[in-house]
Structure 1
Amino acid sequence: MKPQDFDFLSSLLRRRSGLTLNPDKVYLLESRLTPLARRSGMESLDGLIAELRKSASEQLMRDVTEAMTTNESFFFRDRTPFDLFRDQVLPMLRQRRAATKKVRIWCAACSTGQEPYSLAFVLKQQEAQWRDWKFEIIGTDIARPVLQKAKEGIYSQFEVQRGLPIQLLMKHFKQEGDVWRLSEDIRKMVTFREFNLLDNFAPLGKFDVIYCRNVLIYFDQSTKSNVLERMRKILPDDGALFLGAAETVLGITDKFRPVRGQRGMYLPSDADQNLMAPAS
């Protein structure tokens, strides 16, 4: 790939999705966009780039962005963030939201839905304790195909084997040939919508808990800072943020602080120091 073509594509992707690519990722562009070029009736990646330069087709730019988006996800990924939700966050919310009995959770960059559905499983297991409470789980992603898959709740044998306890598989899924369909009662607990993390968060409303895991690693420093600081604005002082195991707020923003002993969990920097105690 010519350097000027790499610069053109990387600039396009950064502008539309925040994705930052270094020159050593040329292979990634070629491997993901060459099949797209062929599906679009072009003989090569060069033809795709030429068409992008010439027409600036919104649909083609969307297709390129979706092709480059990493959609790796599985149920109860890294486990710890879900254990902390059950053992630390929910008890805190029971006390702090007793007056309204309403909780809103945002799973940003939710891909094919395993993360928000994992949270729904946690809540379903405690259903008797929350009968008069209203939980709203919102899953968002920039890519339409993965959102459609999430809404359908249909997963392959490989996908349900990754992190999903067998008892949950047997209880909440129905096998249909080679795939497994998630039960309607779990699917109804999650709402999915298309959303770009570079866009204004205000239309989403306020949230008590935000999961934004394994996506900021693809952004540059200034974009990470911008996203985190805007997330702080839609979290209350006693809200909780979860990032991926390889991510951190340190050196990026002073709006959040890590929770001691709780990997991947962050609180607003001005939150009560005793809001979350380490799990016993």
Structure 2
Amino acid sequence: MTPATFTFLTGIVRARSGGVIGADQGYMLETRLTPLLKRENLPSLDALAERLKQPRTEALAQDMTELLTTNESSFFRDGKPFEHLRGLIPKLHAARPPGQKIRIWSAACSTGQEAYSISILLAELAEADPGLKTRPFEIFGTDITTAVLDRARAGVFTQFEVQRGLPIRTLMKRFTQEEGRWRIKPELSAICRFEKLNLLGDLRGLGRFDVIFCRNVLIYFDVPTKARVLEQIAALMTPDAALYLGAAETAIGVTRALVPLPGERAVYGPATGQEPGRLRA
């Protein structure tokens, strides 16, 4: 692969997904794109670049981008955001009129573990507080990659996947075993829906959210792209909403549209809002 090919291919990925692939990551192109080269009967990445310069290669460019997108997830990943959410949901419930839906967005949801972790948490809260059983919830999962969305919609996970973050009691209560795999129970998947979405696109049509998880996504973006995405996200947040970023991510110094919540790491509210869970009178 020539330097020109590397620049061209990674430029496509950056334009389509925002992901920045460093000059020291050429190996990633070699390993992840090998199946694509075989499928297209192309001898090299240089040949792939030449093919992509031809007309009507939109689908091929998208396939390449999806193969170079990192999809890593686990149940209740990192723990702390879910601890905070456990305390936030009752506040949001108390601040909302009866019957008003609480909307939660899992951006870059990958294979669905984050969305289903939230669903499990909501079920646990409703069992402890019967008042929450009457509150409608929506968990909206989005990702740029078709294959992971198909898996998220199926709600079926391997033994290895459920062992990452799920206590055995939770696994036995919230999943059913099917031929060595585990399927999330229908009452938990019913409030989850998954759609394809590029965070670099226009997000205004998504509506407003009370909780947004956008974790371990910004680390792949340059600063201007981070700012653009975060400002779009901030515009979708209700005044008392919470945004959860990855533990190594920050909005500080990136945008003024978000403010950190006191005493919390990587949890933000909209700059024009107020304490999460407490609406103005």
TM-score, normalization by structure 1: 0.94
Look up the match of 2:17.
17
The Cα of 1:224 is off from its aligned counterpart by 0.3
Letter of the structure 1 residue corresponding to residue 90 of structure 2 = P
Are residue 54 (structure 1) and residue 84 (structure 2) matched? no
1:32-181 correspondence runs (5 A): 32-87=32-87, 89-127=88-126, 128-181=130-183
Look up the match of 2:199.
197
For structure 2, the 5+ residue unaligned runs are: none
For the Cα contact (< 8 Å) 2:241–2:277, is it kept in 1? Answer: no
1:262-273 correspondence runs (5 A): 262-272=264-274
Are residue 229 (structure 1) and residue 228 (structure 2) matched? no
What is the DSSP-based 3-state SS (H/G/I as helix, E as strand, rest coil) of the residue aligned with 2:85?
Answer: helix
Letter of the structure 1 residue corresponding to residue 21 of structure 2 = L
What is the DSSP-based 3-state SS (H/G/I as helix, E as strand, rest coil) of the residue aligned with 1:237?
Answer: strand
For the Cα contact (< 8 Å) 2:86–2:125, is it kept in 1? Answer: no
Partner Cα separation in structure 2 for residue 232 and residue 100 of structure 1: 25
Partner Cα separation in structure 2 for residue 245 and residue 263 of structure 1: 7
> Is 37-46 or 138-147 further displaced after alignment?
37-46
Partner Cα separation in structure 2 for residue 2 and residue 259 of structure 1: 47
The Cα of 1:188 is off from its aligned counterpart by 1.0
The Cα of 1:126 is off from its aligned counterpart by 2.0
Letter of the structure 1 residue corresponding to residue 235 of structure 2 = K
Letter of the structure 2 residue corresponding to residue 60 of structure 1 = L
The Cα of 1:118 is off from its aligned counterpart by 0.3
Partner Cα separation in structure 1 for residue 98 and residue 174 of structure 2: 31
Partner Cα separation in structure 2 for residue 99 and residue 125 of structure 1: 20
The Cα of 1:48 is off from its aligned counterpart by 1.8
Distance 1:54-1:184 versus aligned 2 partners, 3 A rule: same
Letter of the structure 2 residue corresponding to residue 81 of structure 1 = P
1:239-278 correspondence runs (5 A): 239-272=241-274, 274-275=275-276
For the Cα contact (< 8 Å) 2:92–2:277, is it kept in 1? Answer: no
What RMSD in Å do the two structures reach over aligned CA positions? 1.6
Distance 1:191-1:250 versus aligned 2 partners, 3 A rule: same
Partner Cα separation in structure 1 for residue 237 and residue 35 of structure 2: 40
For the Cα contact (< 8 Å) 1:105–1:137, is it kept in 2? Answer: yes
Letter of the structure 2 residue corresponding to residue 91 of structure 1 = P
Letter of the structure 2 residue corresponding to residue 203 of structure 1 = G
Query: How many residues were matched structurally?
Result: 275
Letter of the structure 2 residue corresponding to residue 110 of structure 1 = C
Partner Cα separation in structure 2 for residue 132 and residue 146 of structure 1: 31
Q: Percent identical across equivalent pairs?
A: 47
The Cα of 1:3 is off from its aligned counterpart by 1.1
The Cα of 1:100 is off from its aligned counterpart by 5.0
What is the DSSP-based 3-state SS (H/G/I as helix, E as strand, rest coil) of the residue aligned with 2:240?
Answer: coil
